[in-house]
Amino acid sequence: MSNESRIIKTSLSDPEVRGKIAIIVYEYGLGNSPSLINLANMLSKSDYDVDFFTYNTYLGVASFDDPHIQIHDHALVENTQQWFLPKAIHAISRRITRSTPQFLWVKHEEKRLCHRVSMYAESIASTMSKTHYKCLIGVEPPGLMAATILGKRFLIPYIYYNMELHSKPDIKDSYEWAVKRIEEDFHKGALFTITQDDSRAEIMVQENAVARDTMVTIPVCADGEPFTERTNILRDQLGIGADKIIVLYAGFLAEWAMCEEMARAAQSWPEKFVLILHSHGYDDPAYIMKLKKYEGTTVRFSDAPVMYEDLPKFLASADIGIAMYRGSKGKNFSLISSASGKIAHYLKSGLPIIVNDYPGISNIVESYHCGIATDSMGSLTDAIQKICDQYTYMRQGSFWCYEDRYRLSRHFTKLLDRLERI
């Protein structure tokens, strides 16, 4: 095999206290994932060294000043050589062709993905063979597969970090079927699984036939003290007056996030309300072009990069945070109460939130009085006005909700306890 490994950030670690952990990320965003960024930071604070092994992974402006965290980026060059664990790969292929719709396309996608993940695992193996790891954490099914291959080869326990819910009733295309079959095949071998909440855990337990006591639930969180200051970053950047109410969407500008529906609805807002769509720079250009036709008095765009550590200050320059998810795309989007990084970060900066009227998140909003849940884009004007009428009360509710539910340090001991048992 031919491979190239590029170390993005290197350091000489101090003597290990608890050990070294590898986090394996295949084609999943690191730079826009608060879960992975916070995981590494919290592990380091808990005296672990962390190595990220990434492939085709969005890094954005993510950086780690901590000398105990390294990122190793791998670039692969394909050839026809057979990699290790071919029996496992072929077993998946046989099962897929017998049991899933559009089986020829699924088989093609599965074989291609398994081939590339095997190459990726071999590339990692060539750089980690002399390092002792306490455990491996495989992110999403391809990362889990790579962790399985490496764990079996080097006799290292491995953990599955589930970021997106791959539930069978919601799968629409052959690639997702291939990802699901990989998850099913390799999930049982994981020492335990990290996912966001009990609802998601129960679905995986049923569909993947894994034990319930192997599931550890940690919401997508922010961390650190609540950011209680108000700032003017967006007003200064975009020339927005102090008399305007800024409703901020920050994250992927994507169809599943209902950004076009937000922008369309904002056309009928009073001029005192302004929707700002902030992109992190990793979006579909064609979708951005569709959104740009709505730009005007009540819809503005922000695309200046924001470092993760500067995110609380940036968000605090808005008045309200909005996070809408297209529930018709399945449970990964409707079961969003513990799986939205933007919600956690809005609350940390004291922003009351506008969310979908889905049971989990609407119950949280109601319990903590930290925003409005709505089932209609047409009711956004009323939702914004209700928040404005109770702003001080809802701002305090946002901080309360963050501290109680979305501050990572309140949940992280569950993972540390499991790691200490290894």
pLDDT of residue 60: 76
Higher-confidence residue of 110 and 219: namely 219
Q: For 69-97, what is each residue's pLDDT tens digit?
A: 999 998 765 544 443 444 444 444 444 44
Please say if the pLDDT value at position 106 is more than 80.
no
Higher-confidence residue of 17 and 96: namely 17
249 and 103 belong to one structural domain: no
pLDDT of residue 400: 98
178 and 262 belong to one structural domain: no
395 and 413 belong to one structural domain: no
Q: How many domains, the chain?
A: 2
DSSP assigned state of 402 = I
Q: Which domain holds residue 65?
A: 2-221+409-420
For residue 181, the one-letter residue type is: R
Please say if the pLDDT value at position 46 is more than 50.
yes
Residue 110 covered by a domain: yes
Q: For 138-159, what is each residue's pLDDT tens digit?
A: 999 999 999 999 999 999 999 9
Mean pLDDT of the chain: 89
Residue 349 covered by a domain: yes
Q: For 323-342, what is each residue's pLDDT tens digit?
A: 999 999 999 999 999 999 99
31 and 156 belong to one structural domain: yes
Long-range contacts of 208-212 (CB under 8 A, 24+ apart): 208/183, 208/184, 209/184
Cβ neighbours for 236, distance < 8 A, ≥ 6 positions apart: none
247 and 355 belong to one structural domain: yes
Residue 276 covered by a domain: yes
What is the pLDDT confidence band of residue 32, given thresholds at 50, 70 and 90?
confident
pLDDT of residue 96: 43
pLDDT of residue 252: 92
CA-wise closest residue to 332 among 164, 183, 172, 174: 164
Question: What's the CATH number where 303 sits?
Answer: 3.40.50.2000
22 and 115 belong to one structural domain: yes
CA-wise closest residue to 362 among 335, 384, 387: 335
* Mean pLDDT value across residues 406-415: 96
pLDDT of residue 31: 87
374 and 397 belong to one structural domain: yes
Sheet strands side by side (includes 299-302): 299-302, 273-278, 245-250, 320-323, 353-356, 371-374
pLDDT of residue 82: 43
**Cβ atoms within 10 A of the Cβ of 258, count?**
21
